[in-house]
Amino acid sequence: MEYRWQIEERLNLDQEATPLRHLLQRQWLLPKRVVHFLRVRRQVLVNNEYRPVSKAVGAGDVITLNFTGDEFRTPESSYVPEQGPLTVLFENRDLLVVNKPAGIKSHPNREGEVGTLMNLVSGYLMGTTDAAYMVHRLDQETSGAMIVAKNPIVVPILDRLISTREIHRDYLALVAGIPNPKRGIWDLPLGQDPTDVRKRMVNGQNAQAARTHYRTLATNGGRALVVLNLETGRTHQLRVHLAAAGCPIVGDPLYGTQSAPRMYLHGVAQELVVPFSLKRERIVAKIPDDFPQF
């Protein structure tokens, strides 16, 4: 059988003996559905031989996972490749972290659309066996570090790592007003604004829990420079939480009052957990030149 993707990992010498099923589901965070296919099709090998998932694996074992594509609900990447400038901050076999410029969309909203970051990543990967798969998004006006998967295998793993806050995302914002207190947590549910389909609001329709950690770095006049960390990832979460606290982001076209050349929100760092190896990488996205000096 011809496989579309193959993952091969040698277990570390300090790896404790554990059932193969536990390695795949608990340590590597593969969904049960995927592990089921690997098991019934005998597409998981230990040292080049099939081994039942109930059997133990340990230090130095080589685990090979083979995939045909139907194990995943979205195996195809449908973004139109487009050549253009792309700043790659980190890349390995399974993913990239790229620095998204302000002013371009993260992904297309309709079939065949171009001019988005995912189009540029698809163009960057042309000529390889990889493709671009969405993991998370940044608003069009936001710049900074954004993770893109190169295969569908790691998408649910990265989703899980983000949802459990193993992957941290730090943002820098220039705001109109000074948070009070100057550091803390905003725990404000967010839902749809019934008066504007583009907007979200605190305790709006179908509100979901939303938590943001914040810390004021500096103040100047009536403005502040704030670093923010997402505990949840709701649409427009940082923008709405800041506005609700009386300090909207300068240049925010939906929730702000002060006009500016751009919205001053930048994804400045990712604390990335690399799938399979589980190594931690801190990836920093340089603050753009058009961000005000403070």
Indicate the pairing of strand 143-149 with strand 95-100.
antiparallel
Q: Tell me how crowded residue 255 is: count the other CB atoms within 10 A of its CB.
A: 19
Residues 176 and 156 in one domain: no
Tens-place pLDDT, residues 47-81 = 999 999 999 999 999 999 999 999 998 888 999 99
Give 1's pLDDT tier (boundaries 50, 70, 90). low
Is 139 catalytic? The answer is yes
Tens-place pLDDT, residues 10-29 = 999 999 999 999 999 999 99
Residue 268 covered by a domain: no
Give 190's pLDDT tier (boundaries 50, 70, 90). very high
Residue 44 covered by a domain: yes
Tell me which residue range forms the domain holding 115. 87-164+273-284
**Mean pLDDT over residues 105-115, rounded?**
93
Residues 216 and 243 in one domain: yes
CATH of residue 19: 3.10.290.10
Tens-place pLDDT, residues 197-240 = 999 999 999 999 999 999 999 999 899 999 999 988 899 999 99
Q: How many domains does the chain have?
A: 3
Residue 80 covered by a domain: no
The C-alpha atoms of residue 33 and residue 35 are separated, in whole angstroms, by 6
Query: What is the amino acid identity at position 135?
Result: V
Residue 294 covered by a domain: no
- The distance from CA 22 to its chain's CA centroid, rounded to whole angstroms, is 25
Contact 230, 170 (CB under 8 A): no
Predicted pLDDT of residue 232: 87
- pLDDT at residue 294 tops 80: no
Q: Which of 13, 36, 67 is the last residue of a domain?
A: 67
Residues 61 and 98 in one domain: no
Residue 183 covered by a domain: yes
Residues 105 and 131 in one domain: yes
Q: Which of 94, 139, 170, 252 is catalytic?
A: 139
Residues 111 and 135 in one domain: yes
Tens-place pLDDT, residues 148-186 = 999 999 999 999 999 898 999 999 999 999 999 999 999
